Amino acid sequence: MWRRVAGAVLFAVLTSVAALGQEQAGYLDVYIAHVKPEKRAEFDAVNKKIADANRRNKGDTWIALETTYGELNTVRFVSTRGSYADVEKAFGAFMGAINKAYGPAGGAKLFQDFTGTLESARSEVRRRRWDLSYNPPTDAAAGMRAVGNARWIRTVIVHVRPGHAPEFEAFLKEINAASQRSNSPGMRWVSEAAEGGRAGTYYISRLLSSLSELDQTPSLQQMLGEEGYEKFQKLNAEAVASAQFEIYRILPEISNPPAETAAAAPDFWNPKPKSAAKPKAEAQPKPAANPNP
């Protein structure tokens, strides 16, 4: 989790985005941890220490996401990067913050404790595709505010067959146009595997303040109409190898979000530690009744 990528993950759209892509972070740096179920409490405790060290010592920033529907006991740490150079720079800031807080020996012990909670882990770099996203933020600050107000992320992971990326991307834009015509609410942000993942993998995600927002979204068939939906089914059969749907819950306790993200909802991103319950006062024994009044 020493290379991460902040900000919520992924979308699908139509807006013109050439300038937008230059102004906003171009990559997501993602660390995916598969946690031993019996070690989850230790995992959380170690990550609280790591987040606190980076917060106090100007280290890296990230958002932590727990899989609620999908492969359970999986936690993602996501950070935004403007370039590959920023990936390397953020790694240095992360390690510097840990060493400042714990020293080299203490930092090594912290990482050893972290590794002991894992079944497996891997890292990815994903290229943001604002040109394929629906309702992308107008600038980086707006994107961080959107993440700050989110509590859940629903992601569709699409594996496109080799040679079919152009028609898949073209149809994503058609879906975005249909979404705009139907005034579909919300945002869908798209990213594409760049490093550490399978080529032709697209991540289409929606940021949610509540899962109830999914109830308000028109179906794809409603948006595209019969003819458009038939086209979608044909493309899906020919171009898509597989797709999976996942829902993630944001974990503020082990996140270290950028200041602009935390400012959108300070009470959520900076939860106060739970106060210990006061011990109950011991009941005083009642005096024995006098048998001889």
* Residue 287 maps to a domain: no
Q: Residue 56, Cβ neighbours under 10 Å: how many?
A: 12
152 CB-contact burial (10 Å; exposed 0-12 / middle 13-18 / buried 19+): buried
Predicted confidence (pLDDT) per residue in 196-216, tens digit: 999 999 999 999 999 999 998
Q: How far apart are CA 11 and CA 167, in angstroms?
A: 17
With cut-offs at 50, 70 and 90, classify the pLDDT of residue 14.
very low
* Residue 158 maps to a domain: yes
Domain of residue 251 covers 18-264
Q: List the beta bridge partners of residue 202.
A: 158, 192
End-to-end CA distance of the chain: 76
Residues sharing a CB contact under 8 Å with residue 113, sequence separation 6 or more, in sequence order: 42, 46
Tokens representing 43 are 């995992």
**Number of compact structural domains in the chain:** 1
* Residue 182 maps to a domain: yes
* Residue 100 maps to a domain: yes
Predicted confidence (pLDDT) per residue in 148-186, tens digit: 999 999 999 999 999 999 999 999 999 999 998 888 888
Predicted confidence (pLDDT) per residue in 80-114, tens digit: 999 999 999 999 999 999 999 999 999 999 999 99
Q: How far apart are CA 204 and CA 11, in angstroms?
A: 4
pTM value is 0.84
Is the CA virtual torsion 32, 155, 271, 141 positive or negative?
positive
* Residue 269 maps to a domain: no
* Residue 176 maps to a domain: yes
* Residue 141 maps to a domain: yes
Is the CA virtual torsion 137, 139, 145, 148 positive or negative?
positive
Residues sharing a CB contact under 8 Å with residue 99, sequence separation 6 or more, in sequence order: 107
Provide the CATH number for the domain around residue 107: 3.30.70.100
* Residue 289 maps to a domain: no
